[in-house]
């Protein structure tokens, strides 16, 4: 398995809902990332997990809560989102070896709409 | 400050014409640069990284530290090259580092 898999592909939620985005990889990568991508914009880093520990949090609002249950799984819990949070949410993963640690592999994303 | 600049939002060329997508960077240390591509309805994927010095799908990119550039080139564009191209810089700041993306250039290759 050489892919990063994200579910669901699409999600519509109300501002009072609680939902979760899921990401999975079986490439043995030890770093996993969440990005937010608005239309026609580059991806913006939200969180980085390295060896299941949160190592970068780019001052993301607390209504976004990441979780890394193990080295293959990454979740993003959503609560009380705003319409401006509507975007494509991308998960990525990478090795942590000196040679390949900075190559990131991206999932297809979850397209989120907040009503 | 670490920054990646892609000056062209849109680049339109005819099939068979040469193409150059520009990327300039600002980084205090030794840069590590990448080109990522996003085809329509497909995921973001790595095209090139400068330390590999390879050619992928006919594309090459050379790091020019004097001009702080990492332009992407292809001598003969194909219609299937139409996509969004992002230049990215790995920022070693902080405990683990992260990718900084440029704003992207949309390449349109016309028949």
The full DSSP string for B12-59 is EEETTS-EEE--EEE-SS---EEEEEE-TTS--EEEEETTT---BTTB
Pairwise CB contact (< 8 Å): A105 & B86: no
Is the pLDDT at A33 greater than 80? The verdict is yes
Regions in chain B scoring below 50 on pLDDT: none
Is the pLDDT at A99 greater than 80? The verdict is no
Looking at beta carbons, which residues of chain A come within 8 Å of B34? 102-103
CA–CA separation, A12 vs A34, rounded Å?
19
pLDDT band at A13 (very low <50, low <70, confident <90, very high): very high
Over residues A17-35, the mean pLDDT reads 93
- In this complex, the residue of B43, B46, B104 whose CB is nearest that of residue A107 is B43
- For chain B, the straight-line distance linking the first and the last C-alpha, in angstroms and rounded, comes to 41
Note the helical H segments in chain A.
none
Pairwise CB contact (< 8 Å): A104 & B46: yes
């Amino acid at each position: 398995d050489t892919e990063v898999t994200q579910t669901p592909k699409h999600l519509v939620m109300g501002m009072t809902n609680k939902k979760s985005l899921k990401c999975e990889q079986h490439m043995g990568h030890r770093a996993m990332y969440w990005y937010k991508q608005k239309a026609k914009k580059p991806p913006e880093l939200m969180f980085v997990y390295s060896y299941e520990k949160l190592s970068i949090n780019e001052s993301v609002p607390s209504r976004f809560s990441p979780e890394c249950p193990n080295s293959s799984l990454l979740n993003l819990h959503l609560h009380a989102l705003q319409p401006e949070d509507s975007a494509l949410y991308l998960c990525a993963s990478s090795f942590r070896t000196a040679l390949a640690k900075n190559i990131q592999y991206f999932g297809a994303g979850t397209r989120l709409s907040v009503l | 400050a670490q920054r990646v600049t892609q000056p062209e939002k849109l680049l339109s060329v005819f099939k068979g014409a040469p193409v150059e997508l520009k990327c300039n960077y600002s980084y205090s240390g030794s840069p590590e640069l990448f080109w990522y591509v996003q085809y329509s309805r497909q995921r973001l994927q790595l095209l090139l990284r400068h330390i590999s010095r390879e050619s992928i799908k006919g594309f090459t990119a050379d790091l020019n530290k004097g001009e702080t550039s990492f332009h992407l080139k292809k001598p003969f564009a194909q219609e299937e090259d139409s996509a969004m191209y992002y230049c990215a810089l790995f920022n070693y700041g902080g405990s683990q580092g992260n990718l900084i993306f440029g704003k992207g250039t949309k390449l349109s290759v016309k028949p």
